[in-house]
Amino acid sequence: MNYFIVTGSSKGLGEATAKLLLKENHHLICIARNDNKDLETEAVENGAEITFLQEDLSKHERVTGIVQYLLSKIEKDGQAEGIYLINNAGMVDPIKPAGKADEPSMTKAVHLNLLTPMLMINEFIRLTEDWDCKKVIVNISSGAANRPVHGWNTYCTTKAGLDMFTKSVGLEQSQAVHPTTILSFSPGVMDTAMQGVIRSSDEKDFSNVETFKSYHEEGQLRSPEFVAEKMLDLLFSVDVENGRVYDIKEFL
């Protein structure tokens, strides 16, 4: 059996990914701040196994314990053919130029977007170092990791940091006896709640807000379902390069 741990699974790309996985015979473990009854209903309808943890992953001090709990349950089951960790949870706020953002918002974003996945990955690799099964980690990246965007200084920085962490860990795992494959996946612009947050920004804080409004008005936003399909196709591929940052444009 394959086990999938998906963070930020109550909406957007995380929810779309979870729904696709429930159609196959995988054990799905969802971690999100909010419950999602639709996922639980679909699990019952598909005869699939689902575990839902309501957790605020910006509270990084809880992360290591969560990973320990989940992996101990998987180890006891003794049926793991593959374990997949999808670090999807993230936030674009604060959308403010430097000097305008407040400390709590910046701290929360750094914890959720960067520190939390780093801690999850660190503990995942530590605990599964000797597990002889397929192990894959995917970090959800962004084009903002590669270019500065006005008002997105915190988001750009955290995503760039996560990509470098992916590359570094991939290099290390290439020398492991039972390696974990780690990659970043940049999904491009999607029709999610995060886009709604972006479009509601003040132009003083985000000078490109009109461009993002036009993406929505002109139907240029990809559906989370489409992106989830492309990402899962990549995860199940035999040709994944450890430590690489992939962009959805490569698969269109």
**120-154 per-position pLDDT tens digit:** 999 999 999 999 999 999 999 999 999 999 999 99
| C-alpha distance across the termini of the chain, in Å | 30
Flag whether 145 is in a domain: yes
CB 153 within 8 A of CB 216: no
Residue 247: the pLDDT is 97
Q: What percentage of the chain carries pLDDT values higher than 90?
A: 77
Q: Tell me 179's DSSP state.
A: P
CB 105 within 8 A of CB 31: no
For tokens 């394959």, the residue is 2
Flag whether 194 is in a domain: no
Over 90: is that where the pLDDT of 208 sits?
no
Instruction: Tell me the per-residue pLDDT of 213-225, one tens digit each, with 9 for 90 and over.
Output: 888 888 888 999 9
What CATH number is given to the structural domain containing 136? Answer: 3.40.50.720
Over 90: is that where the pLDDT of 76 sits?
no
- Positions annotated as catalytic residues are 155
Which of 128, 238, 245, 231 is CA-nearest to residue 182? 245
How far is it, in rounded angstroms, from Cα 99 to Cα 206? 14
Flag whether 115 is in a domain: yes
| Boundaries of domain holding 118 | 2-188+223-251
Flag whether 241 is in a domain: yes
Instruction: Tell me the per-residue pLDDT of 78-132, one tens digit each, with 9 for 90 and over.
Output: 889 999 999 999 999 999 999 999 999 999 999 999 999 999 999 999 999 999 9
Phi first, then psi, for residue 125 (nearest 5°) are -65, -40
**pTM, entire model:** 0.94
Flag whether 129 is in a domain: yes
Domain count, the chain: 1
Residue 218: the pLDDT is 87
For tokens 């989370």, the residue is 224
Flag whether 201 is in a domain: no
Tell me how far CA of residue 31 lies from CA of 52, 138, 210, 250, in angstroms. 6, 15, 33, 29
Instruction: Tell me the per-residue pLDDT of 165-178, one tens digit each, with 9 for 90 and over.
Output: 999 999 999 999 99
Contacts of 21 (CB under 8 A, 6+ apart): 4, 6, 28, 48, 232
CB 186 within 8 A of CB 141: yes
How far is it, in rounded angstroms, from Cα 84 to Cα 183? 11
Angle at CA 6, nearest 5°, toward 21 and 96? 130
Helix, strand or coil, per DSSP, at residue 86: strand
Flag whether 215 is in a domain: no
